[in-house]
């Protein structure tokens, strides 16, 4: 699984257990700029930055080798499920991950046991 597929997971990491918040709280808490601080192999690169806007848009910036990649797309929340959709080679690619933790400063996601953790920058 490459970093683009992990854009959805990008904003989050699986740690202790699911945060207990309703959809409204998730929608409010996820808005902002997040930096990947820890991630399993073949997910999203450490140091990648993901920005979630109020209007359902997402922007990803990360390093792949010596190249900086930027991707833009949309995101949707359904309970603890986060779905990110980006254009890749003229086709929409979507991935859904489970938010295992979401606070004012921490985001953790899990995709079939592959985890990522993010810290809010602003």
Q: What is the pLDDT of residue 24?
A: 57
What are the residue ranges spanned by the domains of the chain? 7-120
For all residues of the chain together, what is the average pLDDT?
85
Report CA 16 to chain centroid distance, whole Å: 17
The mean pLDDT value for 63-92 works out to 92
DSSP 8-state symbol, 79: T
Question: What tokens were used for 7?
Answer: 């854009």
The larger pLDDT score, comparing residue 88 to residue 105, is at 105
Q: What CATH number matches the domain at 7-120, 2.40.128.280, 3.40.1190.10, 1.10.10.10, 1.10.287.70? A: 2.40.128.280
Model pLDDT for residues 86-101, shown as the tens digit of each residue = 988 889 999 999 999 9
Match 């990491």 to its residue by tokens. 13
Hey, is 38 helix, strand or coil? Answer: strand
What does the alpha-carbon distance between residue 108 and residue 38 come to, in Å, rounded to a whole number? Answer: 9
Q: What is the pLDDT of residue 18?
A: 44
The confidence band for 64, taking pLDDT boundaries of 50, 70 and 90, is: confident
Percent of the chain clearing pLDDT 90 (strictly above):
70
Q: How many CB atoms lie within 10 A of CB 108?
A: 26
- What pTM was estimated for this model as a whole? 0.79
The mean pLDDT value for 64-88 works out to 93
**φ/ψ (deg, to 5) at 31:** -65, 130
The confidence band for 6, taking pLDDT boundaries of 50, 70 and 90, is: low
Residue 52, beta-bridge partner list: 32, 58
What does the alpha-carbon distance between residue 83 and residue 98 come to, in Å, rounded to a whole number? Answer: 9
Match 């945060």 to its residue by tokens. 19
């Amino acid at each position: 699984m490459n970093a683009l597929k992990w854009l959805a997971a990008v904003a989050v990491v699986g740690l202790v257990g699911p945060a207990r918040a309703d959809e409204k709280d998730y929608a409010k808490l996820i808005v902002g700029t997040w930096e990947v601080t820890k991630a399993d192999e073949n997910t999203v690169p450490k140091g990648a930055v993901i920005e979630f806007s109020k209007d359902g848009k997402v922007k990803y910036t990360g390093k792949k080798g010596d190249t900086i990649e930027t991707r833009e797309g949309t995101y949707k929340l359904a309970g603890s499920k986060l779905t990110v959709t980006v254009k890749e080679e003229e086709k929409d690619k979507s991935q859904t991950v489970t938010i295992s933790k979401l606070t004012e400063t921490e985001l953790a996601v899990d995709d079939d046991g592959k985890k990522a953790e993010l810290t809010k920058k602003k």
